[in-house]
Amino acid sequence: MTLPASAKYLVIGAGVHGLSTAWHLAKEQRTRGEEPDVLIVDKTGVGAGASGIACGVVRNNYFQPAMSELMAANVEVWEQDPEAFSYHPVGYLALGAASQVSDLTAVHERQARIDYPSELIVGAAEVARHMREMFPDWRAQGVEVCLHEEKGGFANNMASMHGLAAKAEEAGARLVDGVRVTGFEMDDSGAVTAVETDRGTVAVEQVVVAAGPWVKSIWTMLGLPNTLDVRTPDGTVHADQEMWTYWYLQEGEIDVDPALLSLPDGSMPPVLHVDSDAPLYDDEGNFVTDELWGNYFKQDLHGVQGGAAPVVVGHEFEVDPYPTASVQADFADMWCASLSHCMKRFEGKRATYKNVRSGGVGCFTADSFPVFDYMRPNVYVIADSNHGYKMIGVGREVARVLSGGESGLLQPFRYERFATGDLHPVSNSPYPWS
């Protein structure tokens, strides 16, 4: 498609946020009786970045109230058209060590207040009983609490992205791939008047940045600061903090019959996330770790897929070419040992491990939570801090804001929280996004 000379809304990025925002913006325009004028540009194509290799887990296990409320809204969007989004609403199991009982209890209570259905099981024996009803060979140790979310599940990454792109184009949005953004023209107020690309310049009224791990480069083009002062809730100011940190996202797959992880009746199981403080050994009895460890895994199209805690890369990273298998040398040993620790059916499956097009790298904000905000008078930035794929509904909320409305769900993720100290609480999870 030819790049148009102008657009009312120009969306940078054809991942989950860009496509969802474009879809909802086009629908908003039609609702107002306007012809949609929404342009999506991507330097490669639909799902070419993080969204296309995401593990695909959709869950609401968040200790932070704002994240929990936003995720409930995202699940609503996933549930609108499971077939189009290749979405499997199988539920989600979060299992934790003793140190996480209070966190998961708080999450469960919050979910009850917002009518998000879940069951809380506390105590090692009680958790084991609950798990063996689904998985008779369950044998995990060091697990004292289970939060069983009835909603959520997972989606198949590229299938869901193409389904979302189809919805955006059907609503009237235009998608042009092979377009790299190279700069911005701004007026004296700092508003962007045109977006410069390697295929020409596009005059714009509003811009949405939904560039995933490439957000730092766009942020820099906009003249925004890459360091900032962060005020913590106790009033302490931490000066000159890095705005962005890159993490390798460790994920892989075992090449087995997907039915290996089926429930006794043959149906698809919930997604599992296990954090344990029990010493971890591989199937040969070799010691792996005695520190708190975590994994997540699910039934996938060609096997069992999942991952473990990400690894810090640093504040600078060359995102092109985008890494599609980014794990530490010992990841496969650890992850396969953890699967076997949980269920006997995974014993001896280390030899079936394979690197798949998964994981990649994520660009995290200063506090590891998203920033959803206007960063120039007419430039809205979606910096998801690698919470992105599951947040298919963020685009709906952004479209409301860009159309003149408000979104209470996005308000807690404004950029100014770093200056005001209105930060999100931190849980006892080993994962940086929790």
Question: Does residue 413 contact residue 369 with C-beta atoms inside 8 Å?
Answer: yes
At residue 56, the pLDDT reads 93
Question: Does residue 64 contact residue 34 with C-beta atoms inside 8 Å?
Answer: no
Average pLDDT over residues 125-130: 98
Closest CA to 306 of 289, 323, 294: 294
Confidence category of residue 434, pLDDT binned at 50, 70, 90:
low
Task: Read off the pLDDT of residues 246-261 as tens digits, 9 standing for 90 and up.
Answer: 999 999 999 999 999 9
Closest CA to 23 of 165, 155, 158: 165
Q: Show me where the domains of the chain are located.
A: 1-88+153-228+366-434, 92-150+245-364
Which CATH architecture does the domain made up of 92-150+245-364 adopt? 2-Layer Sandwich (3.30)
Closest CA to 51 of 204, 156, 208: 156
Confidence category of residue 426, pLDDT binned at 50, 70, 90:
confident
Q: Record the pTM.
A: 0.96
Q: Does residue 432 register a pLDDT over 60?
A: no
Average pLDDT, the chain: 95
Task: Read off the pLDDT of residues 364-373 as tens digits, 9 standing for 90 and up.
Answer: 999 999 999 9
At residue 277, the pLDDT reads 95
DSSP string, 403-422: TT---TTTGGG-TTHHHHT-
Better-predicted residue by pLDDT, 378 or 328 = 378
State yes or no: cis peptide before 430, omega within 30 of 0. Answer: no
Confidence category of residue 231, pLDDT binned at 50, 70, 90:
very high
Better-predicted residue by pLDDT, 373 or 428 = 373
Phi-psi region of 23 (alpha: psi -120 to 50; beta: other; left: phi over 0): alpha
Q: Which neighbouring-strand residues pair with 294?
A: 275
DSSP state letter for 431:
S
Residue 188 corresponds to which tokens in the numbers above?
């004296």
CA gap 409, 419 in Å, rounded:
20
Which CATH architecture does the domain made up of 1-88+153-228+366-434 adopt? 3-Layer(bba) Sandwich (3.50)
Confidence category of residue 430, pLDDT binned at 50, 70, 90:
low
CA gap 76, 62 in Å, rounded:
16
